Amino acid sequence: MESEYKPEQIEEQIQQHWEDNKVFKAVEDPNKEKYYCLSMFPYPSGRLHMGHVRNYTIGDVISRYQRMQGKNVMQPMGWDAFGLPAENAAIKNNVPPAKWTRENIDYMRAQLKRLGLGYDWDRELATCDKDYYRWEQWLFTRLYEKGLVYKKTAGVNWCPNDLTVLANEQVIDGKCWRCDSDVEKKDIPQWFMKITDYADELLDELDNLEGWPDQVRTMQRNWIGRSQGVEISFGLAGRNEKLKVFTTRPDTLMGVSYVAVAAEHPLATEAAKKFDNVAAFIKECAKTDTAEASLETMEKKGIDTGLKAIHPVSGEHVPVFIANFVLMGYGEGAVMAVPGHDQRDWEFATKYGLSINQVIAPLNNEECDLTKEAFTEKGKLINSGEFDGLTSADAFEKISNYLTTRNNGKKRTTYRLRDWGVSRQRYWGAPIPIVNCDKCGEVPVPEKDLPVVLPENVQFEGVGSPIKKMPEFYQTTCPSCGGKAERETDTFDTFMESSWYYARYASVGNDKAMLDERANYWLPVDQYVGGIEHAILHLLYARFFNKLMRDVGLIDNDEPIKNLLTQGMVLKDGSKMSKSKGNTVDPQGLIDQYGADTARLFMMFAAPPEQSLEWSDAGVEGASRFLKRLWRLVFEHVEKGTVADLDAHSLNDTQKDIRRQAHETISKVSDDIGRRFTFNTAIASVMELINALLKFNDDSEQGRAVMQESLQSIVLVLSPIVPHITHELWKTLGQTSLLLDQAWPKVDEAALVKDSLQIIVQVNGKLRSRIDLPASAGKDEIEQTALKDENVKRFTEGNQVVKVIVVPGKLVNIVVK
């Protein structure tokens, strides 16, 4: 053994050994408890960043720990390989996206291996491989048959810079999530997946996901946004038809002072034909986006249509406005406005001088000043005629029943969740497997003709998708009538591929089916590790796909992920490490200089996984020093020659103390790693033990036996975190079996027991002495020893002992008078 720790001499050699022997290959075994540990797969952008290193180290530590618990562990890795950056790189560097992507994958795979991550590489997948996306295409055509996907011309969010449609989730404060351009609206035919059919299940099952952070569950609940409401019909003065609105607050009905419709509402279109200023206003609305998130903050604008709506209870006439904060895609595209109790309506009413009426009073009878803002809470009804005095909850029922019996209302559940638009006009994605035929319309590509392969050898001219200009791709024959037809040239949203990869890992290599029985063995994922930024989108779609795959009969389980760990960000000088900020530290440099173990140790020691981690050069240095010290300690120990067997009964007190600390450390580390995921405190307690061992200068036979046992325990418990150095030290300590196959060390309960205990002795409640007694001493023995103690006697002599209270193991109180 070298006297100095030289990671560069050991790490790659061990990694090669793991690879050659396929030590991380996961094989289904019904007799063993399985453990599926998954880290979110990376986008192959070119190089790993620190966030990856942190994410993947956490997953690897958990996997290795579970393996030592005797579980049959699977930890796969792959590539979320479709997406825009490849196209942008292609345009910039004139290389096809496929080539750019595959080169990045090769580079990053090597980086992952260099970190010593224990993946089953036989399960590797890349979503841009036709063997992968063909099953997504297959599922899509199945869902088409089931009516779960459909095409619709819809106003979509359009990014004028990326020339693509964006999902609502990709619009952040009215701007493109990628390039920050202002998002516009545009009408084009799109494919949608009916996620709304699963809204109730997606919502209700959240209650059962106890292994998920509450924060994530709450975000998903809000995203789905189920609300109970009422559809209310208003008459229109001088006309026969009615105007429907949707409200969640029918209790405020008597406070309506106007009705507002969306710019795309038929009544708005009609008014635009009559009045030029209305037409101009609608045009202006079409330019600005109305992503739901911005409704609260946007400037409220509107225009009067000249129409009057008739209140369904009072018969009063109220104006009908067109308002920019009313969305066409939600409810009825029209609202009854109650400025007294809805802030958006209040802002609008204040601007246009419409009346603001109070119809809800706070339950505690406090005054509210409606000249300042709306009172939006629930309460009890006032100024509402026959409904006065009801609570909001009672009024919800009474007023909706009133309207229902008069054919002016209907209770309805609505969701904030929209169907998922999956069409993208970009090139680098999975082709949508549909053929458009003049005669037959849209025809799904039959299973025998799948996959629809994306041509990879393409030339980029400008921004548009090259396959839209390739007749050899899009010209085809109709699968139904055999006539001339054209393929769909849009591709899928890349969130499609990441929605089911966790299942494909478990059926990898199957070229006959999307999934097989192996998926039922491995699923659900026992532990998923990834960034909080995926709390809504990716995780909701993954849950949705799981249910789709279940309902076409591919898998049994209802939910894909049992436990979720969302790791915090990696910061530098207090802000997120990112390319755009220019404050990144390249992990490769860290690995080259210090080795993988130091990188891993630093990541796990600097912060608990869910909190953000501040990059620190000093922290890296500290991690490196710690490993050197451990190496040195083992080196010096083995230099002294062979070690005798431990005889726990013959130890002296110092030896027993050290051994107790070692077993207490095992116990703490087991809990910290296995249950709490506080890897940092686990490492801290090992550091304390090492410090104690450095001071333990005992070269006696049993002294060295205690040292040997303690060092072996340290090597075992640190092995999930720093697998290379521990592999080497394990051999150095004379072990011939592979460290990876060792069981997690067991705590020797006997070692934790203290032989002698110190007992406090009080006289009349005052501390008078401390006595040392064997831990096994009984009540009588404790009492007699206490009474005979010299310090105690000074306070008892000459007095009468009335009572002796003994709390075994702790204290004795002698009552005298």
Binding region for ligand ANZ (CB under 6 A): 225, 227, 246-249, 252, 325-327, 330-331, 333, 335-336, 338, 341-342, 414, 416
Instruction: Give the Cα separation of 190 and 432 in Å (integer).
Output: 11
Sign for the CA dihedral angle at 137, 139, 143, 148 comes to negative
Q: Which residue in the set 439, 484, 746, 754 belongs to the binding site for Zn ion (CB under 5 A)?
A: 439
Instruction: Give φ, ψ of 267 to 5 degrees.
Output: -65, -30
Residue 742 near Zn ion by CB under 5 A: no
**By C-alpha distance, which of 95, 93, 108 is closest to 44?**
108
Contacts to Zn ion from residues 185-204, by CB under 5 A: none
Which residue, 215 or 227, has its beta carbon nearer to ligand ANZ? 227
Which residue, 440 or 692, has its beta carbon nearer to Zn ion? 440
Q: Closest approach of Cβ 336 to ligand ANZ, in Å?
A: 5
How far is CA 761 from each of CA 181, 625, 775, 786, 808, rounded to the nearest angstrom? 76, 46, 16, 7, 12
**By C-alpha distance, which of 325, 317, 356 is closest to 260?**
325
Which residue, 161 or 477, has its beta carbon nearer to Zn ion? 477
Q: Which listed option, Zn ion, ligand ANZ, none, makes contact with residue 478 (CB within 5 to 8 Å by class)?
A: Zn ion
Q: Closest approach of Cβ 146 to Zn ion, in Å?
A: 21
Q: Which listed option, Zn ion, ligand ANZ, none, makes contact with residue 338 (CB within 5 to 8 Å by class)?
A: ligand ANZ
Which residue, 436 or 678, has its beta carbon nearer to Zn ion? 436
- What six digits make up the tokens of 140? 């899509």
Which residue, 156 or 434, has its beta carbon nearer to Zn ion? 434
Q: Closest approach of Cβ 450 to Zn ion, in Å?
A: 18
CB 175 within 8 A of CB 183: yes
Tell me the window of 352-360, 380-388, 479-487, 730-738 that interacts with Zn ion (CB under 5 A): 479-487
Q: What is the DSSP letter of 777?
A: -
Mask for 15-44, x = binds Zn ion (CB under 5 A):
------------------------------
Q: Closest approach of Cβ 513 to ligand ANZ, in Å?
A: 41
- What six digits make up the tokens of 95? 């290389």
Which residue, 359 or 515, has its beta carbon nearer to ligand ANZ? 359
CB 804 within 8 A of CB 786: yes
CB 258 within 8 A of CB 320: yes
Chain position carrying tokens 């686990």? 682
Which residue, 376 or 764, has its beta carbon nearer to ligand ANZ? 376
Instruction: Give the Cα separation of 762 and 771 in Å (integer).
Output: 11
Which residue, 441 or 464, has its beta carbon nearer to Zn ion? 441
Q: Which listed option, Zn ion, ligand ANZ, none, makes contact with residue 7 (CB within 5 to 8 Å by class)?
A: none
Which residues 6+ apart lie within 8 Å of 529 measured at CB?
A: 37, 38, 39, 40, 55, 58, 59, 62, 565, 567, 609
Residue length, the chain?
Answer: 817
- What six digits make up the tokens of 283? 């045009």
Instruction: Give the Cα separation of 485 and 466 in Å (integer).
Output: 19
Which residue, 95 or 328, has its beta carbon nearer to ligand ANZ? 328
Which residue, 290 or 423, has its beta carbon nearer to ligand ANZ? 290
Instruction: Give the Cα separation of 81 and 86 in Å (integer).
Output: 9
Q: Which listed option, Zn ion, ligand ANZ, none, makes contact with residue 331 (CB within 5 to 8 Å by class)?
A: ligand ANZ
CB 518 within 8 A of CB 149: no
Instruction: Give the Cα separation of 228 and 251 in Å (integer).
Output: 13
Which residue, 43 or 223, has its beta carbon nearer to ligand ANZ? 223
Q: Closest approach of Cβ 485 to Zn ion, in Å?
A: 6
Angle, helices 266-274/276-287, rounded to nearest 10 degrees: 130
Q: Closest approach of Cβ 326 to ligand ANZ, in Å?
A: 4
Q: Closest approach of Cβ 369 to ligand ANZ, in Å?
A: 16
Q: Closest approach of Cβ 133 to Zn ion, in Å?
A: 25
Q: Which listed option, ligand ANZ, Zn ion, none, makes contact with residue 520 (CB within 5 to 8 Å by class)?
A: none
How far is CA 564 from each of CA 112, 259, 494, 524, 811, rounded to the nearest angstrom? 22, 45, 22, 11, 46
Which residue, 152 or 625, has its beta carbon nearer to ligand ANZ? 152
Q: Which listed option, ligand ANZ, Zn ion, none, makes contact with residue 336 (CB within 5 to 8 Å by class)?
A: ligand ANZ
Angle, helices 596-605/723-732, rounded to nearest 10 degrees: 110
Which residue, 361 or 467, has its beta carbon nearer to ligand ANZ? 361
Q: Closest approach of Cβ 487 to Zn ion, in Å?
A: 13
Residue 440 near Zn ion by CB under 5 A: yes
Q: Which listed option, Zn ion, ligand ANZ, none, makes contact with residue 231 (CB within 5 to 8 Å by class)?
A: none
Q: Closest approach of Cβ 325 to ligand ANZ, in Å?
A: 6
The residues pairing with 193 across neighbouring beta strands, listed in sequence order, are 149, 420
Question: Rounded to 10 degrees, what is the CA torsion of 724, 725, 726, 727?
Answer: 50
Q: Which listed option, ligand ANZ, Zn ion, none, makes contact with residue 481 (CB within 5 to 8 Å by class)?
A: Zn ion
Helix, strand or coil, per DSSP, at residue 304: strand
Q: Closest approach of Cβ 81 to ligand ANZ, in Å?
A: 37
Which residue, 48 or 253, has its beta carbon nearer to ligand ANZ? 253
Q: Which listed option, Zn ion, ligand ANZ, none, makes contact with residue 341 (CB within 5 to 8 Å by class)?
A: ligand ANZ
Which residue, 249 or 660, has its beta carbon nearer to ligand ANZ? 249
Q: Which listed option, ligand ANZ, Zn ion, none, makes contact with residue 746 (CB within 5 to 8 Å by class)?
A: none
**By C-alpha distance, which of 753, 749, 791 is closest to 775?**
753
Contacts to Zn ion from residues 480-539, by CB under 5 A: 480-481
Q: Closest approach of Cβ 335 to ligand ANZ, in Å?
A: 4
766-774, strands of its sheet edge to edge: 766-774, 756-763, 811-816, 801-807
Q: Which listed option, Zn ion, ligand ANZ, none, makes contact with residue 480 (CB within 5 to 8 Å by class)?
A: Zn ion
How far is CA 299 from each of CA 253, 347, 523, rounded to the nearest angstrom? 25, 9, 48
Q: Which listed option, Zn ion, ligand ANZ, none, makes contact with residue 439 (CB within 5 to 8 Å by class)?
A: Zn ion
First to last CA, the chain: 71
- What six digits make up the tokens of 154? 């819809």
Q: Which listed option, Zn ion, ligand ANZ, none, makes contact with residue 327 (CB within 5 to 8 Å by class)?
A: ligand ANZ
**By C-alpha distance, which of 504, 549, 510, 561 is closest to 36?**
561
Helix, strand or coil, per DSSP, at residue 689: helix
Q: Closest approach of Cβ 433 to Zn ion, in Å?
A: 15
Instruction: Give the Cα separation of 561 and 530 in Å (integer).
Output: 12
Q: Which listed option, Zn ion, ligand ANZ, none, makes contact with residue 72 (CB within 5 to 8 Å by class)?
A: none
CB 131 within 8 A of CB 33: no
Q: Closest approach of Cβ 13 to ligand ANZ, in Å?
A: 60
Which residue, 235 or 331, has its beta carbon nearer to ligand ANZ? 331
Q: Closest approach of Cβ 249 to ligand ANZ, in Å?
A: 4
Chain position carrying tokens 């450390």? 665
Q: Closest approach of Cβ 350 to ligand ANZ, in Å?
A: 15
Contacts to Zn ion from residues 408-437, by CB under 5 A: 437
- DSSP secondary structure, 94-126, as one string: ---HHHHHHHHHHHHHHHHHHTT----GGG-EE
**By C-alpha distance, which of 143, 81, 164 is closest to 430?**
81
CA angle 622, 64, 632 (to 5 degrees): 35
Q: Which listed option, Zn ion, ligand ANZ, none, makes contact with residue 242 (CB within 5 to 8 Å by class)?
A: none
Residue 478 near Zn ion by CB under 5 A: yes
Instruction: Give the Cα separation of 427 and 706 in Å (integer).
Output: 65
Which residue, 248 or 510, has its beta carbon nearer to ligand ANZ? 248
Tell me the window of 154-162, 302-310, 314-322, 475-483 that interacts with Zn ion (CB under 5 A): 475-483
- Contacts with Zn ion, residue ranges (CB under 5 A): 437, 439-440, 478, 480-481
